Structure 1
Amino acid sequence: MGAVPSDIEIARAARKQPIFEIGAKLGIPAESLVPYGHDKAKISPDFIAAQKGRPDGKLILVTAINPTPAGEGKTTTTVGLGDGLNRIGKRAIICVREPSLGPCFGVKGGAAGGGYAQVVPMEDINLHFTGDFHAITAAHNLLSAMVDNHIYWGNALDLDLRRITWKRVMDMNDRALRQIVGPLGGVSNGFARETGFDITVASEIMAILCLATDLKDLEARLGAIIVGYRRDRTPVFARDLKADGAMAVLLKDAMQPNLVQTLENNPAFVHGGPFANIAHGCNSVVATRTALKLADYVVTEAGFGADLGAEKFFDIKCRKAGLSPSAAVIVATVRALKMNGGVAKPDLSQENVEALRAGCVNLGRHIENLQKFGVPVVVAINHFSSDTEAEVAAVKAYAAALGVEAILCRHWADGSAGIEDLARRVAQIAEDGTARFKPLYADDLSLFSKIEKVAREIYRAGEVTAERAVLAQLRSFEEQGYGHLPVCIAKTQYSFSTNPDLLGAPSGHVVPVREVRLSAGAGFVVAITGEIRTMPGLPRSPSAERIRLNAEGHVEGLF
């Protein structure tokens, strides 16, 4: 077999079907689709509401080991598995997140799958798509403007300028904006105060959009956003500023799931996109629920490794949306496992079974963790051409010793034909009905105990530390009636610990909680650990340096 073309070359050569034909496969009439060109569309809320009485299909989660520079291919496997299930005669829909411009122009360069397992139109999905992220940015910053405007015109709500918690956002990595002072320039511009920017995918409004069930729920959640506190420490809500209605108007279209297709013309919902290292890392509830009404199988992903994405998928999304997954797939590569075993990136193409076995502890930890949620697990070995038979056999043997099957998948090079074995196994597990899903912790546990539960049982930490002020803040949240909420821990994606360089399966480490934030509208408490930032910076050589238009006007450099 010859060399596989680049992702963008494959995507550009795709034979896409008109989006109305993709909708027709799901029983969506043309009048229930709002087209954005010929190859993407939004699904109308009336059609979604009409599906409520239909039975649900089986929900399959695709997660992964901790990400490494060697590559894992979680989204690629999600797309490939959806295609594979359709290939073996199942009615399947893929549900994935929308990419953020920050990582597209920063490190990743794109996030719509890869090889012959992609969703298209690839350039559109990775760039402005249907404008959802811009709407979220606008709604967030409208509230920011209304906060400052309220203060300018007399501050009738008595907001304490030192305790305003609502920042601004933009969908780009820009470390210079993490902490700023504004407004400046005298009386006519308002009152100077310290503030900052987060990236749009870290906005509470992104989380709200992804957890809201309909427009009414969306507006109620927007109104419940806490923008800051008075001098007596009582909260001021977005509804107190009368901002919730206008914010909902800006988000009206963004609430509708986006329908696109895979390279093999199978339906895919691409909607919402919170990061898993700083937010809850799952596509929207409305997209997932709608897909479950329209298909026998819904394949969805959760961001980064299973310690972040899968835990939040189970403990936040499934808990709040009443979802019960039937199976979980953990994506691993021989290359990434060797890197976890101490092999440097330049040496990953050389066979090293000993290092591979050592690195398999990372995979083993994720398997053990997922089993705590009562969901059956299967491992997908995402194939690279440098993998040897001995290495693949070693991964299969390691997984088998833990009672789990590991299946070699060649979807990147061969599309659905290369992932049939995994598709059949996933379908078998789902139909067996052995899943007994349960969240990791109960609602009535204290907030700090919930953080400890995740840190000790999923991260395998020996201790969780927090300053007295952080503990007092958590107690204050509980006194305000928010103690029942789940926790969303912001942590590095590269390690089970808060040290990104600590690979493998570390245990006994310390998890320092340096800040906590109440996302009352989204319905969770964010605990920020270690050096994690809610506004990333660009790397020394960002992908933006290599993204450009060629002589034909086509995008180059996205991958």
Structure 2
Amino acid sequence: MALDIMIEEELPPPGSPDIDIARAASMRPIVALADDRLGVPAEALIPFGHYKAKLSLDYIASKAEAPKGKLVLVTAVTPTPAGEGKTTTSVGLNDGLNRIGLNSMVCLREPSLGPCFGMKGGAAGGGRAQVIPMEDINLHFNGDFHAITSAHSLLAAIIDNHLQWGNEQDIDPRRIVWRRVVDMNDRALRNINVGLGGVAHGIPRETGFDITVASEIMAILCLATDLADLQRRLGDIIVARRHDKSPVTARDIEADGAMAVLLKDALQPNLVQSIEHNPAFIHGGPFANIAHGCNSVMATKAALSLCDVVVTEAGFGADLGAEKFLDIKCRQSGLRPDAVVLVATVRALKMQGGVAKKDLGDSSPEAVERGVANLRRHIENLQKFGVTPIVALNHFVLDSDEEIAVVQQVCDELGARCTVAKHWAEGGVGAEELAQAVKDQLDQGTPEINLLYPDDAPLKTKVETVAREIYRAAHVDFSSAASRSLDEFSKLGYGHLPVCIAKTQYSFSTNPKSTGAPEGHTLEVREARLSAGAGFVVIVCGDIMTMPGLPKRPAALDIGLDGNGDIVGLA
């Protein structure tokens, strides 16, 4: 499997819209790329056009005993409106690793339509570090999210139908916990009434919508190891309580089989390429602020059987994405990272230091000095898991040498290697220094990873451990409802599960305006939800919503078609 010779293309200059750069890039037919770069035969692929394909489950199973590559986790400092570029860095790093002679691929999550049409935009990277076809990846992408939405909706419909036709399981309509989902930011659907209009139209009750990425089915798809495991997990979903308060599962109402049918194709990882024609799996898309924030175990393990190095990302800051990657994904799958990259930008650190977004163009080493407390906290937190990250300083053209020096000094103090990465402007060549740093780390062997808490710790203790060790909270305030739920989950036999904390991504605390590295605060836990199929307990904190709303001017208002029928405005 010889590496491709990189083709230097004439692309629009740095600063051009990402969609223009992506469109200008040539693409290799995906069947040829899979054969040349991964040794995957054509019959193992299910093509979606010329440039996208799914990898068959049978082929993945055939590679189960293949030698495994090294795993690199990419995470980041706390996100700000200035941008950090975690996905862009993941793509750029993968391009850089291939440039220095390693056979590498990247594993990413699929973008959600909610952020694409809301505030965040797409999630295919940026500048010259993108995965393509960018428009397809950001919109609908092989139908996986639609399959998850449909399977979730089917279960919701079967629950209400079960009530309508005699309620054999004695479900208490007041204790149905399975909500509905749609892959769009729609705050008006957070709380709704259904079954209105008389006897023929169902049993009236209150319910609501979450965004598809918050669905337990999304988490299940990303943690399942094969079709049998997928259906087992779907059957384990707890949808309601009976009048005697015992749990009712999707298996009890015989919904698991049909749900698995809807998800059969979606379980297959999606293969695409970067601008530099390096392979990428993009599969699954749970948010890290309301779910576990990692791409699928299927894609990660398949990539490890095909390549020497696999780069994967975990959503939002390391306090959310990396913690959940380690304490949930790694705990369940047996995966362990061989190296960790922590992405930061001078711009983000200046915002953490109190600089307004409009003033970020002015050099301010003093603001960086204040803001690096956030970077320091993330490095120290990752060291608690047994790994010191490589810091990738995602470069912006207005970054001054004095500002960069402040970041370098903090990294030196903590023993973290820091590299300035210019992949956004230069592609893989701009990430070669970062790639070499990662290679050097991989050559030193796999670190001993310490999970933050043992399985047998009480659920409340697990929450308190994350709050104390990662968020530096002084206290956890459990609402009476959350406390009762956690006690109930333990009595039902789920006390061994890890916790998945849902909170704002903008702060270590539950206050999104508390920037930098706050400590001594209180973590307010308002609700606990049992995701028995996914295998974790969701801890809902502060004002976080599992159905986001649109901003005052959503991105959707600037997206459309030009006179040639091409998409414009998609970022």
For Structure 1 versus Structure 2, the TM-score category normalised by the shorter chain is: over 0.9
Which of 79, 97, 101 is equivalent to 1:85?
A: 97
Does the Cα contact within 8 Å between 2:379 and 2:388 map onto a contact in 1? no
Partner of 1:401: 413
Q: How does 1:522-533 map to 2 (within 5 A)?
A: 522-533=534-545
Per-residue CA shift, 1:25-58, capped at 9, x if unaligned?
1011000000000000000011000001112111
Partner of 1:20: 31
Q: How does 1:407-446 map to 2 (within 5 A)?
A: 407-446=419-458
Does the Cα contact within 8 Å between 2:14 and 2:425 map onto a contact in 1? no
d(CA) in 1 for partners of 2:468 and 2:211? 29
d(CA) in 2 for partners of 1:44 and 1:311? 30
d(CA) in 2 for partners of 1:98 and 1:366? 25
| DSSP 3-state at the match of 2:374 | helix
d(CA) in 2 for partners of 1:16 and 1:494? 36
Which of 168, 193, 204 is equivalent to 2:180?
A: 168
For 1:164, the aligned partner's letter is I
Gapped runs of 5+ residues in structure 2? 1-11
For 1:413, the aligned partner's letter is A
Partner of 1:159: 171
Q: How does 1:454-533 map to 2 (within 5 A)?
A: 454-533=466-545
Q: How does 1:130-169 map to 2 (within 5 A)?
A: 130-169=142-181
Is structure 2 residue 126 aligned with structure 1 residue 114?
yes
d(CA) in 2 for partners of 1:549 and 1:77? 29
Q: How does 1:286-365 map to 2 (within 5 A)?
A: 286-365=298-377
Per-residue CA shift, 1:10-37, capped at 9, x if unaligned?
1001110000112111011000000000
Note the aligned Cα RMSD (angstroms).
0.9
C-alpha spacing 1:3/1:112, structure 2 compared with 1 (3 Å): closer
Q: How does 1:200-239 map to 2 (within 5 A)?
A: 200-239=212-251
Deviation at 1:3, TM superposition (A): 4.6
Does the Cα contact within 8 Å between 2:131 and 2:275 map onto a contact in 1? yes
d(CA) in 1 for partners of 2:384 and 2:71? 18
Partner of 2:7: none
| DSSP 3-state at the match of 1:241 | coil
C-alpha spacing 1:192/1:40, structure 2 compared with 1 (3 Å): same
d(CA) in 1 for partners of 2:446 and 2:528? 37
Does the Cα contact within 8 Å between 1:376 and 1:435 map onto a contact in 2? no
Partner of 1:193: 205
Per-residue CA shift, 1:96-155, capped at 9, x if unaligned?
000000000001221100000000000000001100000000000000000000000010
Per-residue CA shift, 1:473-513, capped at 9, x if unaligned?
11111111101000000010000000000000000000010
Per-residue CA shift, 1:254-280, capped at 9, x if unaligned?
000000000000000000000000000
Runs of 4+ in structure 1 off by over 6 angstroms are none
d(CA) in 2 for partners of 1:387 and 1:471? 47
C-alpha spacing 1:517/1:30, structure 2 compared with 1 (3 Å): same
Partner of 2:4: none
Is structure 2 residue 560 aligned with structure 1 residue 548?
yes
d(CA) in 2 for partners of 1:228 and 1:260? 39
Q: TM-score, normalised by structure 1?
A: 0.99
Per-residue CA shift, 1:314-361, capped at 9, x if unaligned?
000011000010111110000000010011111111010011011000
d(CA) in 2 for partners of 1:430 and 1:531? 40
Deviation at 1:434, TM superposition (A): 4.8
Does the Cα contact within 8 Å between 1:140 and 1:169 map onto a contact in 2? yes
Partner of 1:250: 262
Deviation at 1:2, TM superposition (A): 5.4
| DSSP 3-state at the match of 1:380 | strand
d(CA) in 2 for partners of 1:115 and 1:422? 17
d(CA) in 2 for partners of 1:167 and 1:314? 28
d(CA) in 2 for partners of 1:371 and 1:558? 38
For 2:31, the aligned partner's letter is F
Per-residue CA shift, 1:225-265, capped at 9, x if unaligned?
00000111100000011100000000000000000000000
Q: Percent of counterpart pairs with the same letter?
A: 64
Does the Cα contact within 8 Å between 2:84 and 2:344 map onto a contact in 1? yes
| DSSP 3-state at the match of 2:390 | strand
Does the Cα contact within 8 Å between 2:75 and 2:317 map onto a contact in 1? yes
d(CA) in 2 for partners of 1:61 and 1:541? 34
d(CA) in 1 for partners of 2:293 and 2:569? 25
d(CA) in 1 for partners of 2:206 and 2:223? 30
Does the Cα contact within 8 Å between 1:332 and 1:363 map onto a contact in 2? yes
d(CA) in 1 for partners of 2:406 and 2:156? 54
Deviation at 1:397, TM superposition (A): 1.1
Does the Cα contact within 8 Å between 2:155 and 2:250 map onto a contact in 1? yes
Q: How does 1:268-287 map to 2 (within 5 A)?
A: 268-287=280-299
| DSSP 3-state at the match of 2:319 | helix
Per-residue CA shift, 1:178-219, capped at 9, x if unaligned?
001111110000110000000000000000000000000000
Gapped runs of 5+ residues in structure 1? none
Q: Which moved more, 1:471-480 or 1:515-524?
A: 471-480
Does the Cα contact within 8 Å between 1:326 and 1:376 map onto a contact in 2? no
Does the Cα contact within 8 Å between 2:79 and 2:317 map onto a contact in 1? yes
Does the Cα contact within 8 Å between 1:177 and 1:196 map onto a contact in 2? yes
For 1:128, the aligned partner's letter is H
Deviation at 1:4, TM superposition (A): 3.4
Does the Cα contact within 8 Å between 2:127 and 2:424 map onto a contact in 1? yes
Q: TM-score, normalised by structure 2?
A: 0.97
d(CA) in 2 for partners of 1:2 and 1:179? 46
Does the Cα contact within 8 Å between 2:337 and 2:446 map onto a contact in 1? no
For 1:513, the aligned partner's letter is V
| DSSP 3-state at the match of 1:240 | coil
d(CA) in 1 for partners of 2:536 and 2:260? 20
| DSSP 3-state at the match of 1:387 | coil
Does the Cα contact within 8 Å between 1:182 and 1:195 map onto a contact in 2? yes
Q: How does 1:254-265 map to 2 (within 5 A)?
A: 254-265=266-277
Between Structure 1 and Structure 2, how many residues are aligned? 559
For 2:514, the aligned partner's letter is L
Does the Cα contact within 8 Å between 2:239 and 2:248 map onto a contact in 1? yes
Deviation at 1:467, TM superposition (A): 2.1
Does the Cα contact within 8 Å between 1:357 and 1:398 map onto a contact in 2? no
| DSSP 3-state at the match of 2:181 | strand
d(CA) in 2 for partners of 1:376 and 1:267? 27
